[in-house]
Structure 1
Amino acid sequence: MSPDDLSSASPGLAGSRVDHVYARVKDDIFEFRLLPGDRFTESQVAERLGVSRTPVREALYRLEREGYLFVHFRNGWSVRPFDFVMFENLYELRMILESAAVRKLCDQTDLSHVEVLKPVWLVPEEARVRDARAAAELDEIFHTTLVDAADNPELARVHNDVIERIRIIRRLDFTQGYRVERTYEEHAQILQAILRRRADQAVLLLNSHIAESRAEVRKITLHRLQSARQS
């Protein structure tokens, strides 16, 4: 039985292989091991990861749908170039969505879904997370929690899509130690303003926080791309 036959005979195994390939290739893009414009074939990925072309093809089409890759029919695949105009637009949309969520939160009588963030962000400096990947995950949880707590499933759905599309550059914000510290300070201020139901202040702090992050990740992305191309 060939690897492709085995994949067809075992849907669960095939799905796990697709997920594995998807995660590996996406991580290569995130870590700049695959650079914008780099070209490769399904066979190359399959050989490197020790799987058949079937899960590779499914994983690559999934990444293509998410905007990370181009498919060149009969001529392989390539990493999509960074579109900074698109990222600027997505960050602007993120501000609109999160501002709307914060205003809804400040009108709610029950903020228990927001209170859960206090043990993470209202902590002394020695208790702060320093690991970049962990800090990025906590940051994402902070923002998605605020939106989810606004109790508008459609707002949350659109916001989740935006977060997914900017994740490739947004996570770079936490590769700089001082940015982790700034995130703790800014999140604490935003959270306290929401808990006091000061909507205008919370929205102002939130938008300033997102704008600063947007500027920082653009700068870091350009630097990382230049360094990767020179190595």
Structure 2
Amino acid sequence: MIPQPKFAKAISNSLASQAYARLKADIFDFHFLPGDRFSENEISERLQMSRTPIREALFRLQREGYVEVLHKSGWQVRPFDFQMFEQLYDVRSVLEAAAVELLCAMPEVPLLQELGAIWFVPEDERITDAPTLSVHDERFHEQLVEASGNAEMARIHHDITERIRVIRRLEFTEEMRIDVSYEEHAKILRAIIERRTSHAKDLLRAHIALSQSEVKKITIQMLHQARARSAARAAA
């Protein structure tokens, strides 16, 4: 077998990354609906790429749980499994509560001041761009677990974060959730800084439960709207 030149590998990896990003965005934005089927050739034509980077992108999405391969019949966007998402949220809640307990037992956690610079700001200085705030929200929770010092717990939590991102990011499509997020994060941080362990854990669990309820409601609504648009296009 003739070795592939380094520059050719780099180009292939770049195209695969582009295909991955575009396909994942289409799934996140419900351009591909849960249960939709497609072939590698269809995606290749749509993205104007060869099948090799498309296949690499699809296998990556498969490993992350967004698509699944169908025997001799192409690929499918994985149907939403709300029971699985609820279980992941439950595990996330356990991990973050454990992290908060560890943080409250530490004599000093410099990270808390860093997070406070983001979440203790006045209302007129709050981030209102939903995608940007979604990133900060995700990192808030990841940083709490990372700061606990338990590397394995942080690794598992990061994996869960990746798996629930497809619906979690929808939380900030409702403007009122922006203010609620700031207020709840600030309360959690103050409780940790003041070493009120039980109160901090209660606040965190309630925050995650409310977020879970909101994203499920929004997801169901957006899926219904996307299916209605798809049906309208098919009927036109």
Normalised by the length of structure 2, the TM-score is 0.93
Task: State the match for 1:105 in structure 2.
Answer: 103
Unaligned runs of 5+ in 1: none
Deviation at 1:9, TM superposition (A): 5.8
Deviation at 1:6, TM superposition (A): 8.2
Distance in 2 separating the partners of 1:76 and 1:117: 45
Distance in 2 separating the partners of 1:111 and 1:198: 14
Task: State the match for 2:127 in structure 1.
Answer: 129
Task: State the match for 2:233 in structure 1.
Answer: none
Task: State the match for 2:14 in structure 1.
Answer: 16
Deviation at 1:10, TM superposition (A): 1.4
Alignment of 1:2-41 (within 5 A): 10-41=8-39
Deviation at 1:43, TM superposition (A): 1.0
Deviation at 1:44, TM superposition (A): 1.2
Distance in 2 separating the partners of 1:222 and 1:202: 31
Q: Which amino acid aligns with 2:92?
A: R
1:177 aligns with 2:144: no
Q: How many percent of aligned residue pairs carry the same amino acid?
A: 50
Question: Contact 1:40/1:76 (CA < 8 Å) preserved in 2?
Answer: yes
Let me know the Cα RMSD of the aligned residues. Answer: 1.4
Question: Contact 1:70/1:80 (CA < 8 Å) preserved in 2?
Answer: yes
Q: Aligned to 2:76, what secondary structure does the other structure show?
A: strand
Alignment of 1:38-77 (within 5 A): 38-77=36-75
Unaligned runs of 5+ in 2: 230-236
Query: Among 138, 148, 159, which residue is 1:161 paired with?
Result: 159
Task: State the match for 2:186 in structure 1.
Answer: 188
Question: Contact 1:7/1:13 (CA < 8 Å) preserved in 2?
Answer: no
Task: State the match for 1:146 in structure 2.
Answer: 144
Deviations 1:121-174 (A, max 9, x none): 000000001111011001011001101100111000000000000000000001
Q: Which amino acid aligns with 1:209?
A: H
Q: Aligned to 1:33, what secondary structure does the other structure show?
A: coil
Distance in 2 separating the partners of 1:115 and 1:143: 15
Distance in 1 separating the partners of 2:6 and 2:227: 40
Q: Aligned to 2:186, what secondary structure does the other structure show?
A: helix
Q: Which amino acid aligns with 2:32?
A: L
Question: Contact 1:18/1:56 (CA < 8 Å) preserved in 2?
Answer: yes
Deviation at 1:104, TM superposition (A): 0.2
Large movers: runs of 4+ above 4 Å: 5-9
Q: Aligned to 1:151, what secondary structure does the other structure show?
A: coil
Question: Contact 1:60/1:69 (CA < 8 Å) preserved in 2?
Answer: yes
Deviations 1:29-61 (A, max 9, x none): 000000011111111111111211001001101
Deviation at 1:74, TM superposition (A): 2.1
Normalised by the length of structure 1, the TM-score is 0.95
Task: State the match for 1:83 in structure 2.
Answer: 81
Distance in 1 separating the partners of 2:36 and 2:64: 17
